[in-house]
Amino acid sequence: MKLTKRSQIRDAHTLAGAYAMDAVSAPDRERFERHLAGCEECAREIASLREATAMLGTATAEAVPAGLKERIMAAAAMTRQQPPADEAQPVPARTGTWIRSLAWPGRVTLATAGAAAAAVLAVAVVFGIANSSMQDQIDQAQASSQQIAVVLTAQDAHMTTGTVAGGGTATIVMSHARHALVFTAQGLHALPASRGYELWLIGPAGTRSAGMLPAGRHGMTGPVIASGLRPGDRLALTAEPADGSAHPDTPMMLDLIL
C-alpha cells in the first residue's frame, strides 16, 4: 500500500523523540533529516528534547572523587595476586601436539584473569560495594535508567516545562504510550531535613503519589521516573514530611496538565 503525503509526514513526526536520542537507523535518519529541513515544528521539538536530555545528564553526572586513582592503585598493590599455574605439570601425551601448544597461553590467561579479578576486588574494597545492598542499588539504578531511556525514545515523547511556586523550574518528558513520565527540576528551594518534595498524579482515578524527589545536587533534582500515567492526569508537586504522605497536605507548588 502506497502511503499518502500526509501519512508520510505524520510518520516522520513520530521519529522526533528517537532522533533526538540518536536511536534511529541510518535510513530513518536520512528520511527524517529531509523532513526536518522543512518542518519548524519538528525542529522546535528536537531542540526541546535535546535540552531536556542535557539537563538529565547534568543532573546525574558526578565528579570523580579526589585521589580515587591513587587509592585504587594502593589497594591493588596490597592485594595478593593469583599465582601462575604449575609449569612443571605435564600435559598428557594423548592430548596431542596441538593441545600442548595451548598450555602456556592458558597459564598466561589464568594469571592475567587473576590479576584482573584482584584489581576489581581492590576497587570494590575502596568503594565498599562488596555487599548485596550495594548491588541492589546498582540494579535499581540500571532499571531506572532503562525506564528513563524508554520514555525519552518513545515515538510520542513530549516535553513540557512549568514554574514551581517558591522557586525553580520543572521539566517533564512524557509518553502516554508508555504510561510514564520523566521529571527533573532546576533551582528548587532547599527544604529542611524533615521535609521533602513529593510528586503526585491527579486525575479521574484519584490522587496517587508518584514518589519523593531525591535531594538536589548542584541545583539539579532528578531525574525521577513516574509510572502509571493515565488519560486526564495532571502532575502536581508539594512539600511533605520527609517520609512522604498518603495524600497532599500542603498547597500545590506545581500543577501541570499532562
pLDDT for 195-253, tens place per residue?
999 999 999 989 999 999 998 888 899 889 999 999 999 999 999 999 999 999 899 99
Most confident among 2-16, 53-67, 154-168 (mean pLDDT)? 154-168
**Pair 177, 69: CB distance under 8 Å:** no
Q: How far is Cα 239 from Cα 198, in angstroms, rounded to an integer? A: 6
- Mean pLDDT (the chain) is 74
pLDDT(157) > 60: yes
Single-letter amino acid, residue 207: T
pLDDT(4) > 90: no
Q: Please report, in angstroms and rounded to a whole number, the separation of the first and last CA atoms in the chain.
A: 35
- pLDDT at residue 28, as a whole number: 84
pLDDT for 48-97, tens place per residue?
777 776 666 555 555 656 655 665 665 555 555 555 555 445 444 443 33
pLDDT(189) > 90: yes
Q: How far is Cα 212 from Cα 133, in angstroms, rounded to an integer? A: 21
Model's pTM, two decimal places? 0.53
Single-letter amino acid, residue 243: D
Helix axes 40-60, 26-36, angle to 10 degrees: 120
**Could you write out the DSSP letters of every residue in 107-173?**
HHHHHHHHHHHHHHHHHHHHHT--SHHHHHHHHHHHHHHHHHHHHHTSTT-EEEEEEPTTS-EEEEE
Mean pLDDT of the region 143-157: 84
